[in-house]
Amino acid sequence: MSARGPTSIDQHVGARLRLRRSLLEMSQSELGEKLGVTFQQVQKYERGTNRIGASRLFNVAKVTEVPVSYFFEGLEEDGSSELKGGDSDTLYDFIASPDGLALASAFAGIKDQTVRRRVIDLLRSLAD
């Protein structure tokens, strides 16, 4: 990465933007319209290729109905992601996929904490 290239923070913020937009079932074009940018610019934000300035991030938060802090959740104090390496990208890509969204929505509907733990245990055993 060059000094002018995307940082891990830019990529993390972009991944959180992609996740939130997907959860809202909003296209890149729709988000771009609401922000006054092209869908290509939204793509660059989501990849972390282009940084999102403070005022734009504030507008993104308003449009996606989350606090600005949402985009920084999961970052360590040193700016690294909680998930190291490519795992973070893979996780965000999965969650932003139709299957990931369906799984997350269904799981969020489970209110009983014990049942949630059992579902997690079941998924871990199936993955092994």
Greater model confidence, 48 or 41: 41
Contact 81, 75 (CB under 8 A): yes
- Domain limits of the chain? 8-96, 98-128
Q: Minimal CA–CA distance to 23: which of 64, 63, 62? A: 64
Question: What CATH number has the domain spanning 8-96?
Answer: 1.10.260.40
Measured from the Cβ of residue 48, the count of other Cβ atoms closer than 10 Å reads 22
pLDDT tens, 78-87?
A: 665 654 445 5
Q: Taking residues 93-109, what's their average pLDDT? A: 79
d(CA 126, CA 97): 20
Contact 42, 48 (CB under 8 A): no
Greater model confidence, 26 or 82: 26
- Indicate the pLDDT class of residue 2, thresholds 50, 70 and 90: very low
Contact 24, 56 (CB under 8 A): no
The pLDDT value given to residue 92: 63
Q: Minimal CA–CA distance to 64: which of 101, 33, 98, 24? A: 24
